[in-house]
Amino acid sequence: MLELDNIFNSITVMLQDLSVILEAEQQILIENSSINQLSEVINQKSQLLIELKLVDEKRLKVSQQYNMQSPYSENQEIALKWQAITDMTQRLAQINRDNGILIQNRMNVTQKSIDYLKNMNNPSVYTYNGYQQSETISSERAKV
C-alpha cells in the first residue's frame, strides 16, 4: 500500500509541475511576449506528459497487485489522494483546452494575414470576358 501512496505523491508533484508549465504557456500566448520560449515550454509539457503516462501505468500495475481500482474506496486515505488527483487533472485539462483555443485563434489570424499579403503581391487579372483570373499571366502571353 505504501508503494501506491508513493506513486500518488509522485503524480501530485508532477501535476503541480504541469500546472506551472501550462500557466507559463498561457501567459506567453496571452501576452504575445517571449514567443521564442513557447517551443521550449511545449517540449517541457510533452516530456512531463510522457513521464506522467509511465507513472500512471505503474499505478495501474500496483493497483492490480493490491486488487484495487479507482476511486480506491477500500482505503480512505488513498481515495482522498485519488480524488485530489482527478480534480487537479480536470482543472489542468481545461487550461490545456484554453491554450489550444488561444493557439488556434493565433493561427487563424496569421492565416488571414498571409492570405491578405498573398492577394497584395499577386493581384487579380481579368480575362477578355471580364472574369477574374487568380494567377498572373506573364507578359509574353498577354495580347496587347
Tens digit of pLDDT for each residue in 32-91? Answer: 777 788 889 999 999 999 999 999 999 999 999 999 999 999 899 999 999 999 999 999
Spatial separation of the C-alpha atoms in residues 16 and 111, rounded to whole Å: 35
Grid cell for residue 113:
494575414
> Does residue 139 lie in a domain region?
no
Indicate the SS3 state at residue 132: strand
Does the residue 78 lie in any domain? yes
Domain contains 89: yes
The CATH number covering residue 89 comes to 1.20.58
Q: Which three cell numbers stand for residue 87?
A: 480534480
The answer as to whether 136 is a domain residue is no
Tell me, yes or no, whether 106 lies in a domain.
Answer: yes
Residue 61 counted as domain residue: yes
Distance CA 14, CA 77 (A): 19
Q: What's the pLDDT band for 123 if we cut at 50, 70, 90?
A: low
Average of per-residue pLDDT values in the chain = 87
In which domain, by residue range, is 107 found?
2-122
Assess if residue 127 is contained within a domain: no
Place of cell 500557466: 23
Lowest mean pLDDT among 6-15, 101-110, 121-130: 121-130
- Number of domains the chain is built from: 1
Q: What is the DSSP track for the chain?
A: -HHHHHHHHHHHHHHHHHHHHHHHHHHHHHHT--GGGHHHHHHHHHHHHHHHHHHHHHHHHHHHHTT--TT-TTSHHHHHHHHHHHHHHHHHHHHHHHHHHHHHHHHHHHHHHHHHHHHHHS--EE-TTS-EESSPPPTTT---
pLDDT over 60 (residue 138): no
C-alpha cell at 139: 507578359
The confidence band for 144, taking pLDDT boundaries of 50, 70 and 90, is very low
Predicted structure pTM score: 0.76
In a domain, 29, yes or no: yes
